[in-house]
Structure 1
């Protein structure tokens, strides 16, 4: 019992430090002038998406004639699940968010450590808190901010739906929760990848460029390997976002069928990030 007490205290201290860093990171991004400008730009972009693509496309989605055209062009089963969503606005939001939020995640999470490295403040921070607390605290903070923004866009979409039909309130809330949880899982590997790249880069812009290069290099490499060695085609699941195109034609609890892919990717990337931050001389 006595031997376990210091270990328990250390774990509690690490958890406390991690949460404090996450809280500070959220405040920094929400109240920093540069962060506020980015949030305002994000809000305006999503306002335009809600008012035009989502609102407009949802009216087509509930039209039986439009469904017949889509099935005639793409085949009867290509997008069949998309038409089964109880709320058309959330179905269109689902498609848009699956592609837009990962891109947003790359940009908003690019500066987890890069600025601290460039300014030389990383050593100062690592002397006061453990590197594990710093790494996971920053990761949690960036994920929390993205989840907040994600939840706000889902709520806005639900409000848009019930202005069309108030009876959609309960199915909209149910579908909205499913969408929010799914997209949170989708964003995990992207944020974890940017945590690693921002440790290596000297600026947020450089980390973003590295992310594009890594994604392009992995996509090309996997395509070449699959072409010559189709027996190991499952290698494609190593690429963050590999499941997104398959998630489009899902609805309800079906949308969680690809969640293990993102969770495993995130776990591997976080482990690699933990190893890198502890072993490198930053």
Structure 2
């Protein structure tokens, strides 16, 4: 099973990298991040180094709300951290929406399941999509490190260390998003439908949790079942301390993958 899973993950990664639709998505992704790197990240780093800007931010949000943001050894990586925490999950929803939907609507899913186990197919597709996102994530982190070093060559080692922490953290953050899209794409008939389902899930769960927290605050911890619920708290973290919220997405991913495994084995695809 493990060998088949890895082979399917490798095949999925190559398919997304080299087919026309995948290439268009990668070009669009590259252009968006190029603009982010050239303007918000390279420009905003100078603001973080400005004491007057720090005083303004602390005056608006309070010194405890963003105090960790100004302790990053590399200003470019701090700005990248904020941008990536919100942009990569959105990208994950769109890029992972078609893990199974198209094959299901075309009837090719049945062809695949006759030649490999459903578990191998499910986890292989999941790992392939995670591999693609991890690759793109690493490339953007490297670009941010290059920006920082071009400003100050002495930042090389701090930038590499911060880049490693950010990369691992963001991969963990993306795990439940990709797992949720795997589950939704099993139910949907197209990538667009899976994306709509994801938006509905987030909207309904956010509203439901807010109502429950308002009337029954004793069970306010329900908010942790929603993927991304920890992101706003992760902004004000730095270094190894940013891993304090890692168990949240890990547990969410495990639960969603378990649901996906049950669904794919019990459904008539």
TM-score (norm: length of structure 1): 0.95
What's the CA shift string for 1:251-282, capped at 9, x where partnerless?
A: 00011000000000000000000000000111
The correspondence for 1:165, drawn from 146, 149, 152, is: 152
Counterpart residue number, 2:206: 219
- Structure 2 portions without partners, runs of 5+: none
What's the CA shift string for 1:225-269, capped at 9, x where partnerless?
A: 000000000000000000000000000001100000000000000
CA-based RMSD:
0.4
Counterpart residue number, 1:199: 186
* Aligned ranges 1:33-182 → 2 under 5 Å: 33-182=20-169
Counterpart residue number, 2:234: 247
Counterpart residue number, 1:9: none
2:228 aligned with 1:228, yes or no? no
The correspondence for 2:9, drawn from 22, 37, 45, is: 22
The correspondence for 1:186, drawn from 173, 176, 200, is: 173
Matched residue of 1:94: which SS?
A: helix
Deviation of 1:72 after TM superposition, in Å, equals 1.1
Structure 1 residue ranges, 4+ long, deviating more than 4 angstroms after superposition: none
Deviation of 1:73 after TM superposition, in Å, equals 1.2
Counterpart residue number, 2:253: 266
TM-score (norm: length of structure 2): 1.00
Matched residue of 2:63: which SS?
A: coil
Matched residue of 1:202: which SS?
A: coil
Q: Distance in 1 between matches of 2:228 and 2:84?
A: 12
Larger radius of gyration: 1
- Structure 1 portions without partners, runs of 5+: 1-13
Deviation of 1:111 after TM superposition, in Å, equals 0.3
Which moved further from structure 2: 44-53 or 70-79? 70-79
Q: How many residues matched? A: 269
Q: Distance in 1 between matches of 2:56 and 2:93?
A: 35
Matched residue of 1:129: which SS?
A: coil
Q: Distance in 2 between matches of 1:147 and 1:136?
A: 16
Deviation of 1:209 after TM superposition, in Å, equals 0.3
Deviation of 1:65 after TM superposition, in Å, equals 1.1
Deviation of 1:74 after TM superposition, in Å, equals 1.0
What's the CA shift string for 1:137-176, capped at 9, x where partnerless?
A: 0000000000000000000000000000000000000000
